[in-house]
Amino acid sequence: MNDDPRVDHALVQTLDDATTGVRAVTNAGATDVPAAYAVQEALVARRLQRGESLVGWKLGFTSLAKMAQMGVSDVIVGRLTSGMEVRDGGAVDLGRFIHPRVELEIAYRLARDVDPAAPAEEALSAVDAVAPALEIIDSRYQDFRFTLADVIADNTSAAAFVIGSWTAIEAAGELGGRAVALTVDGQTAQNGSTDAILGHPLRALPALAEVARRQGMALRAGQVVLAGAATAAVALTPGAVVQAEVDGLGAVTVRAATADGR
Ligand code: OOG
Ligand code: MG
């Protein structure tokens, strides 16, 4: 909403330029969370005007590992667009990013709209499938240093994501307590459990519904949801082949390609 009085248009411009120009900026030192979500909406609206579509939502700081890594301790929500999607097994061009990091995530698919007036727990019943996923984050701020409001304004560092094969939620079994592993070139970089996500990975959905209700975000059928990293993020370097595996759900892979295609 461009007429939203909370939107700091200069910050929207700065963050959009940083993204398209692949250049870090100093953080804004922002503190007002609702105003930051308004900036995020306006920032993503620019991508939509350039032809991308809104395909889903991502949570951040749902694990202690991420909170500790970034020094921030509140759940945040960002927007995923079509231009961020990379196919499983594909390559992602590192030239698009400033200082990319990769995270092991779990993705959910919404089979129906989530009613913002319903209790947040009901968001669980909107999910019809689950998949292992990778997220590439790329803060537009120097050295990944930001306040909570800064990172919300910057669309929660969203840059790219990869989703593995979907498993129907009824067939997936208990999602809590599953072992997860993030490997880089076949070597384990991080491992842990799906319970690192808010104590149980399904808790991501009510947490999302709660933020969505407060910030006026419409959760729609067909959208995907990234539950937030289960482990700390690792730097994504040229040529790396990164894989995320979630016990019982399979694996998802991406290769970090350089501009010359290697
Ligand atoms: C913010 C994004 C956090 C997650 O999964 O916790 C996030 C950042 O760390 O730059 O995506
Ligand atoms: Mg993430």
pLDDT by residue for the chain (262 residues), tens only, comes to 456 888 999 999 999 999 999 999 999 899 999 999 999 999 999 999 999 999 999 999 999 999 989 988 899 999 999 999 999 999 999 999 999 999 999 999 999 999 999 999 999 999 999 999 999 999 999 999 999 999 999 999 999 999 999 999 999 999 999 999 999 999 999 999 999 999 999 999 999 999 999 999 999 999 999 999 999 999 999 999 999 999 999 999 999 998 665 5
Q: Which atom of ligand 1 is nearest to the CA of 66?
A: 6
For ligand 2, the distance from its centroid to the CA atom of residue 137, given in whole angstroms, is 7
Q: Which atom of ligand 1 is nearest to the CA of 151?
A: 1
For ligand 2, the distance from its centroid to the CA atom of residue 13, given in whole angstroms, is 24
Largest CA distance in the chain: 50
For ligand 2, the distance from its centroid to the CA atom of residue 144, given in whole angstroms, is 13
- pLDDT the model gives residue 224: 98
Mutate to test the pocket of ligand 1, among 19, 57, 69, 70 (most ligand atoms within 8 A of CB): 70
Q: Is the CB of 132 under 6 A from ligand 1?
A: no
For ligand 1, the distance from its centroid to the CA atom of residue 29, given in whole angstroms, is 18
Q: Is the CB of 60 under 6 A from ligand 1?
A: yes
- pLDDT the model gives residue 166: 98
Q: Is the CB of 141 under 6 A from ligand 1?
A: no
Q: Is the CB of 57 under 6 A from ligand 1?
A: no
Question: Could you tell me the two tokens for 214?
Answer: 């407060």
- pLDDT the model gives residue 258: 85
For ligand 1, the distance from its centroid to the CA atom of residue 137, given in whole angstroms, is 7
- pLDDT the model gives residue 150: 97
Q: Is the CB of 150 under 6 A from ligand 1?
A: no
Q: Is the CB of 103 under 6 A from ligand 1?
A: yes
**H-type helices in the chain, by residue range?**
9-21, 33-49, 64-70, 148-153, 169-172, 204-215
Q: Is the CB of 146 under 6 A from ligand 1?
A: no
- pLDDT the model gives residue 28: 86
- 85-94 CB burial, b ≥16 within 10 A, e <16: bbebeeebeb
CA distances in angstroms from 25 to 12, 16, 28, 139, 262, listed in the order given: 12, 11, 9, 9, 28
Is beta strand 224-226 parallel, antiparallel or unpaired with respect to 54-60? parallel
Residue 56 falls in which region: left (phi positive, over 0), alpha (psi -120 to 50) or beta: left
